[in-house]
């Protein structure tokens, strides 16, 4: 009895002197540029220590498998904000979803406050602050494009309504599931109570691919290349554009050079560069026999981090957002633009001069988007 009391005393002394990591950066984690206080402005519920709720749909799939763990690790909100993960997939994937939840448990992530793994749309969407809409109906052998569009319309109509009814009023949405732009337009149209500026579709993977292709061509570190732009649809009609891009420390340290003269190869810029970026997804599938997953998850995190935390001064990124009429793109078309972000909002970069080549490319991808949108909206329940 006496010895067990002694052991308890020793243990409590040990606990008192043990380091605590509750309010500081944990070893091995880099400090997030955003403080907990900043997020308390964006998400007041953090004031009473409630977690930020992040929905990932298609949660038993490949991309979500990479996203969920990164979010739980703190890669979206930094190392001081607790998150609750809402994971949605369809009923046939319930067992796989259970497996993902088990693995999340087994990671013992200190920031992961809760996992809501479900096949019920209402449960999944209730009170979510961020919605990463990854799940979509995949194209199956022999399936007509029209039928694929119809299937996905039904999914994003239902999910738009669920956002409207159950999500947090300031939910921020990014659609990844293809056709991403049109799916986002459908979700937005079905969620009239959520501001249009809270909807987006992912073109950041295309943006990152373009940045990487330019860096490789110039033989410079990828972070030295900035401000490439993806215009239009996340499809093979997208227009990867280097007119705004520059390269740092080129041709010598301290010199910043526009990418176009740095490359000095118009044929590549207007030909192989564009087609390589447009076809990169297909090239990955051909090589890997699976579609891009880790790079897509990384792009989702980049997209949301920039949107939530703001883009550094002078940095431009690509996001598909509802057009406000900029560059002659009709209002509400979900179109990828050059944007900057601050205080949780994106802004389309204005005043860019478009040459004839660019104008044609912008119009071609617009035409595809408008046709897709018209067809998709004809499937919506009246
Ligand atoms: P997976 O097939 O691995 O996973 C998709 C998951 O979504 C499956 O588990 C499926 O059951 C689920 N799902 C289907 N309908 C659902 C619904 N109504 N509600 C919830 N979940 C549902 O695909 P993955 O590789 O993860 O890709 C997901 C989507 O991202 C695909 O549509 C894909 O085409 C698209 N992509 C978009 C990219 C972009 O940049 N915008 C790039 C990567 C990717 O190709």
> 341-359: per-residue pLDDT in tens?
998 999 999 999 999 999 9
Q: How far apart are CA 373 and CA 164, in angstroms?
A: 20
Atom of ligand 1 nearest to the CA of 88: 20
The pLDDT, as a whole number, for residue 43 is 76
Pocket-testing residue among 64, 68, 135, ligand 1, by greatest number of atoms within 8 A of Cβ: 135
The pLDDT, as a whole number, for residue 19 is 35
90 Cβ inside 6 Å of ligand 1: yes
Q: What average pLDDT does the chain have?
A: 90
Which runs of E-coded beta strand occur in 58-212? 83-88, 112-118, 130-133, 172-175, 199-201
Look at 41 and 11; give whichever has higher pLDDT.
Answer: 41
Atom of ligand 1 nearest to the CA of 204: 40
Q: Mean pLDDT across the stretch 220-227?
A: 98
176 Cβ inside 6 Å of ligand 1: yes
The pLDDT, as a whole number, for residue 328 is 97
Is 29 annotated in the active site?
no
The pLDDT, as a whole number, for residue 138 is 85
Residue nearest (by alpha carbon) to ligand 1 atom 31: 177
Residue nearest (by alpha carbon) to ligand 1 atom 9: 61
The pLDDT, as a whole number, for residue 5 is 61
Identify the band that residue 25 occupies on the pLDDT scale cut at 50, 70 and 90: very low
179 Cβ inside 6 Å of ligand 1: no
Residue nearest (by alpha carbon) to ligand 1 atom 34: 178
Q: What is the pLDDT of residues 126-165, one digit of tens each?
A: 999 999 999 999 887 778 878 889 999 999 999 999 999 9
Reported as type and span, the H/E element at residue 144 is none
The pLDDT, as a whole number, for residue 40 is 72
Distance 310 CA to ligand 1 centre (A): 27
178 Cβ inside 6 Å of ligand 1: yes
Q: What is the pLDDT of residues 171-182, one digit of tens each?
A: 999 999 999 999
Q: How far apart are CA 83 and CA 209, in angstroms?
A: 29
* pLDDT higher than 80, residue 44: no
Q: Which of 142-151, 267-276, 327-336, 341-350 has the lowest average pLDDT?
A: 142-151
* pLDDT higher than 50, residue 2: no
Look at 78 and 216; give whichever has higher pLDDT.
Answer: 216
First to last CA, the chain: 76
Atom of ligand 1 nearest to the CA of 299: 40
Domains of the chain: 21-201 (3.40.50.720), 204-377 (3.90.110.10)
- Which one of the listed residues 14, 29, 36, 234 is annotated catalytic? 234
* pLDDT higher than 70, residue 36: no
Atom of ligand 1 nearest to the CA of 175: 41
The pLDDT, as a whole number, for residue 3 is 56
The pLDDT, as a whole number, for residue 141 is 76
Whether 227 and 246 have beta carbons less than 8 Å apart is answered as yes
Partners of 167 in beta bridges? none
CB-based contacts of 373, cutoff 8 Å, min separation 6: 182, 185, 333, 334
* pLDDT higher than 60, residue 260: yes
Look at 28 and 198; give whichever has higher pLDDT.
Answer: 198
Q: Mean pLDDT across the stretch 121-127?
A: 98
Q: Which of 4-13, 86-95, 296-305 has the lowest average pLDDT?
A: 4-13
Q: Mean pLDDT across the stretch 298-316?
A: 96
């Amino acid at each position: 009895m006496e010895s067990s009391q002694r052991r308890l005393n020793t243990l409590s002394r040990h606990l008192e002197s043990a380091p605590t990591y509750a309010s500081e950066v944990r070893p091995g984690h880099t400090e997030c540029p955003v403080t907990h206080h900043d997020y308390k402005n964006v998400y007041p519920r953090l004031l009473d220590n409630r977690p930020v709720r992040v929905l990932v749909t298609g949660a038993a799939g490949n991309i979500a498998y990479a996203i969920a763990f990164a979010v739980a690790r703190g890669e979206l909100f930094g190392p001081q904000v607790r998150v609750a993960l809402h994971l949605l997939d369809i009923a046939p994937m319930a067992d796989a979803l259970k497996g993902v939840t088990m693995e999340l448990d087994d990671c013992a992530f200190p920031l992961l406050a809760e996992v809501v793994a479900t096949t019920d749309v209402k449960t999944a969407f209730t009170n979510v602050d961020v919605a990463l809409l990854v799940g979509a109906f995949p194209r199956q052998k022999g399936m007509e494009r029209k039928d694929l569009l119809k299937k996905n319309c039904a999914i994003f109509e239902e999910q738009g309504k669920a956002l409207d009814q159950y999500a947090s009023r300031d939910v921020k949405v990014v659609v990844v599931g293809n056709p991403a732009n049109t799916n986002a337009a459908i979700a937005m149209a079905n969620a009239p109570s959520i501001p249009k500026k809270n909807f987006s579709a992912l073109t950041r993977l295309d943006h990152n691919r373009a940045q990487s292709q330019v860096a490789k061509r110039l033989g410079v570190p990828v972070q030295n290349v900035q401000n490439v732009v993806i215009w239009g649809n996340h499809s093979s009609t997208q227009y990867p554009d280097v007119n705004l891009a520059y390269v740092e420390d080129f041709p010598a340290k301290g010199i910043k050079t526009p990418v176009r003269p740095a490359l000095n190869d118009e044929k590549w810029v207007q030909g192989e560069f564009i087609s390589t970026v447009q076809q990169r997804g297909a090239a990955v599938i051909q090589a890997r026999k699976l579609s891009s997953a880790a790079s897509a998850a990384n792009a989702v995190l980049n997209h949301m981090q920039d949107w939530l935390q703001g883009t550094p001064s002078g940095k431009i990124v690509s996001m598909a957002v509802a057009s406000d009429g900029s560059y002659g793109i009709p209002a509400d078309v979900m179109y990828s633009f050059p944007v900057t972000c601050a205080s949780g909002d994106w802004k389309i970069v204005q005043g860019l001069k478009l040459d004839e080549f660019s104008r044609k490319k912008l119009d071609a991808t617009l035409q595809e988007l408008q046709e897709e949108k018209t067809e998709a909206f004809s499937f919506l329940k009246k």
